[in-house]
Structure 1
Amino acid sequence: MDLNEIQKLESMVYANTFNRLPVAIKKGRGMYLYDVNDKRYLDMFAGIAVNSLGHCHPEVVKTIREQSEILIHTSNWFYTIPQLELAQLLVKITGLKRAFITNDGTEAVETAIKLARKTTGKGEIIAMKNAFHGRTLGALSLTWGERYRKPFLPLVPEMKFVEYNDVDALERSITDKTAAVIVEPIQGESGVIIPDDNYLKEVRELTEEREVLLILDEIQTGFGRTGKMFAFQHSGIEPDILCLAKGLGGGFPIGATLFSCNDFEPGEHGGTFIGNPLACAVAKTVVRVIMEKKLVKNSERLGSYLLRELRERNLSVRGKGLMIGIDVSDGKRSVLDLIEKGILTIYSGNTVRVLPPLIIEKKHADQFLSAVEDIGL
């Protein structure tokens, strides 16, 4: 099928939920994707910060093949070794005490909401304006933006919002009913919004002082995206609850909630597919390769190079590691122009978001920079 036929088929059979870019992808290898006409594109957004090892990484493919020949699914009526080994690994690299494996990021946030309410016996959770935490009902209740929320009102009660990067506003909002504060170390969906360097540290100090749990949503920033394994490590803090997903699976659906607060009792939380052996085996491999190949350092190095080169071109740019936002006059038009040059990015409003796989090399960065120059970004 060509693109027109694919678009027609979607209009007939698929839910009208996505504003897709005009590209139909057929296959991927490393840093590149190929459309149905075999045109090659440099992937500079990694499936929204998901494909941390690029496309069809040989170690990931090998793990999928080997594990799928052994065991794919059992439910959580039984013990499975990959699940517990992944939990052990995540506890080790995050510093938190326990892990709960989920299918994706929004489930990780839903888990965090329940943990916060169970631990504190309180209902109120404070989120940030312009935050994005997911589209299921609980996570949506913590997501800012009328276009996400309005069709589904009323949402979960006792959720409220304060200005991001404003500790004083947060302090005024905490009450004796507040269970937790949830924060993204960098706001991704709103356009790569980076707070002041001391913001997370001050939020951590405030929540400890007021005996309120701190939930960090690192679904997008985790696993090397910002030049540290986790973005909270830039601030030298540790949250009570940590939400993870995206880069954890390298393209395979999986998420996790790490926590050092009270645990669930059996039956209080769960899921049929969560923590299945195949997903957990893949995630273990992804994390291992990130560490063995020093891809966190690569994120810091290539991210710094891209930021420096973009600034030298007098662009309005901000970022940390390989999480970069470029302000432009027309975000969608710029992304479409880059597609014509064989470069795939995404946009939030009038910000072009750059989130390449962590395996990016200088030659790929230079290819992107050349395209940026060609379109006069």
Structure 2
Amino acid sequence: MSSLFPTYGRWDVAITEGRGSRVKDKNGKEYLDFISGIAVTNLGHRHEKVKEAISEQLEKVWHTSNLFQNDLQEETAEILCSHSAGDAAFFCNSGAEANEAAIKLARKHTKKEKIITFKQSFHGRTFATMAATGQEKVREGYGSMLSSFQYFEYNDTERLKSLKDDSLAAIMLEVVQGEGGVRPADLEFLQEAEKACKRNGALLIVDEVQTGIGRTGSLFAYQEAGLDPDIITAAKGLGSGFPVGAMLGKKELAKSFGPGSHGTTFGGNMLAMAAAKATLETVLAEGFLEEVKEKGSYLLTELKKELDGLDQVEEIRGKGLMAGIACSEKAMPMIEKLREAGLLVLPAGEKVIRLLPPLTVSKEEIGEAVQMIKNVLAKSEVEV
């Protein structure tokens, strides 16, 4: 009997070793990893620069608390802010914590409570972020939620155009809904959300927990839509596997988050900042993001080409190195067969196969993965 709470439907695989885009389990079986810890190990497993930065910091000091000055926080914040719409950063430990901070800041700054999010969104599992999430299954069993969230249909541009609400504190959205089925937002929808915020004296919060840190080919996905958000949240890929999250905000919001207004014991500790700084320097190095865009285009093109004609494939969608294969049948049986074949992928809802390869993946590895997907799906159709 396990001593762990059964909060996860764990697969019968124990990963013991990883390098780049490949991992091995405890039985020695090798896999091509197109999960990346759910968009976390964006630089692949055991990236040398990040490993060196953490190792170097391990020999200095691990933790001092946020009562002290922290040069690594300052340096990492400057990198994030100089490459985004943010002017100030708050560091925490996860995406849920970053979104929790964003919700608190929006309500405190505007002195209003209502926040619009979208159906099929996912923003975390703390009480506020669970309430913000537009999926009933995440909220089941926990009783009354925070009542200040209202869920609109994703990509419903017309509803945003007619939105008039003086009680609105913020609109919170994902540029691509990850857990919600790898669904990219329409450009007009994103732009209309920003206009609706300005019209109603509300803040625009962009949740970049899964799409940020290069996943879509830009440091943040909102940048490709020309948005100017008030608050941006990030985590997952920020630390290359080391737990770290960040909330970025406009300078005028800083006065609402003064001493004592919010905090975290471990957020922004020295090891996390060493990992985050090294990760950002790698992602922002000349040519890196251009390569991600090129490989992302290649992945989607190859999927569409090779899976064309398969009856159970309804749509290929995504952005950058974030792809979803929408199927007419449940995805898990095919995901299990792909795992048996040596490819790790995951679901995004009941009928979507989600691919999140490392940003450092090669075109050869992409081609290898696409062929495995084609073979498994084609064989599945024959068996049916």
Structure 2 residue identity aligned to 1:290? V
CA RMSD, aligned part only? Answer: 1.3
Aligned partner of 2:353 in structure 1 is 352
| AA of the residue aligned to 1:142 | A
SS at match of 1:86: helix
Report the CA distance between 1:319 and its aligned residue: 1.1
Q: Is the 8 A contact 1:81 1:277 kept in 2?
A: no
Structure 2 residue identity aligned to 1:262 = L
Which residue number in structure 2 is paired with residue 320 of structure 1? 319
Q: Does residue 272 of the first structure (1) align with residue 265 of the second (2)?
A: yes
User: Relative to 1, partners in 2 of residues 1:49 and 1:166: Cα closer, same or farther, differing over 3 Å?
Assistant: same
Q: CA deviation at 1:201?
A: 1.4
Q: Does residue 12 of the first structure (1) align with residue 5 of the second (2)? A: no
Unaligned runs of 5+ in 2: 379-384
Q: Percent identical across equivalent pairs?
A: 41
Partners of 1:257 and 1:237 in 2: CA distance: 17
Runs of 4+ with >4 A deviation: 171-174
The residue that corresponds to 1:281 in the other structure is: 274
Q: Per-residue CA shift, 1:129-181, capped at 9, x if unaligned?
A: 11100000011110122221021121222111111111222355552111001
Name 2:377's counterpart in structure 1.
376
The aligned length equals 367
Cα distance, 1:95–1:176 mapped onto 2, change above 3 Å? closer
Q: 1:54 Cα deviation (Å)?
A: 0.3
Query: Which residue matches 1:153?
Result: 143
Question: Which residue number in structure 2 is paired with residue 6 of structure 1?
Answer: none
2:108 paired with 1:115: no
Q: Distance in 2 between matches of 1:86 and 1:376?
A: 43
- In the superposition, the TM-score normalised over structure 2's length comes to 0.93
- Once residues 125 and 327 of structure 1 are traced to their aligned partners in structure 2, the CA distance between those partners, rounded to angstroms, is 30
- Structure 1 CA distance, aligned partners of 2:326 and 2:161? 31
Residue 80 (str. 1) matches residue 73 (str. 2) = no
User: Structure 2 counterpart of 1:147, which letter?
Assistant: K
Letter in 2 for 1:333: P
Q: Deviations over 1:58-84 (max 9, x none)?
A: 111111110011111011111111111
Alpha-carbon spacing, 1:15–1:361, altered in 2? closer, same or farther (3 Å): same
State the Cα distance separating 1:375 from its structure 2 match. Answer: 0.9
Consecutive unaligned residues of structure 1, counting only runs of 5 or more, are 1-10
Match of residue 59 from structure 2 = 69
Corresponding residue for residue 253 of structure 2: 262
Aligned twin of 2:226: 236
Taking the aligned partners of 2:208 and 2:10, their CA distance within structure 1 comes to: 25
Secondary structure in 2 matching 1:56? coil
> How far, CA to CA, are the matches of 2:357 and 2:11 in structure 1?
17
Contact 2:163 2:196 in 1 (8 A): no
Q: How do 1:1-377 and structure 2 match up within 5 A? A: 11-172=1-162, 174-260=164-250, 261-263=252-254, 264-292=257-285, 294-313=287-306, 314=308, 315=313, 316-328=315-327, 329-348=329-348, 349-377=350-378
Give the TM-score normalised by structure 1.
Answer: 0.95
- How far has the Cα of 1:293 moved from its partner? 6.0
Q: Is the Cα–Cα contact under 8 Å of residues 226 and 299 in structure 1 kept in the other structure?
A: yes
Q: Distance in 1 between matches of 2:23 and 2:264?
A: 33
**Alignment correspondent of 1:5:** none
